[in-house]
Amino acid sequence: MVQFALSSIAVIIGVVMLMAFLAGTLPTRATARQNPVAALRYE
């Protein structure tokens, strides 16, 4: 049976949470800065 240290599991969970936060936050910030009229006109 494979055993993992609790600290390594905590670090992996923390890194995954940070990546998910950045993946959701960075595109949202870029979109929020855009002019809404220009964004709708592009579509």
C-alpha span between 10 and 19 (Å, rounded):
14
C-alpha span between 11 and 39 (Å, rounded):
39
Q: In angstroms, how far is the first alpha carbon of the chain from the final one?
A: 54
- pLDDT tens-digit readout, 33-43: 888 888 788 66
Q: What are the backbone dihedrals phi and psi of residue 29, each rounded to the nearest 5 degrees, phi first? A: -65, -40
In the numeric block, the tokens 């995954």 are attached to 16
- pLDDT tens-digit readout, 1-43: 889 899 999 999 999 999 999 999 999 998 888 888 887 886 6
* pLDDT attached to residue 41: 81
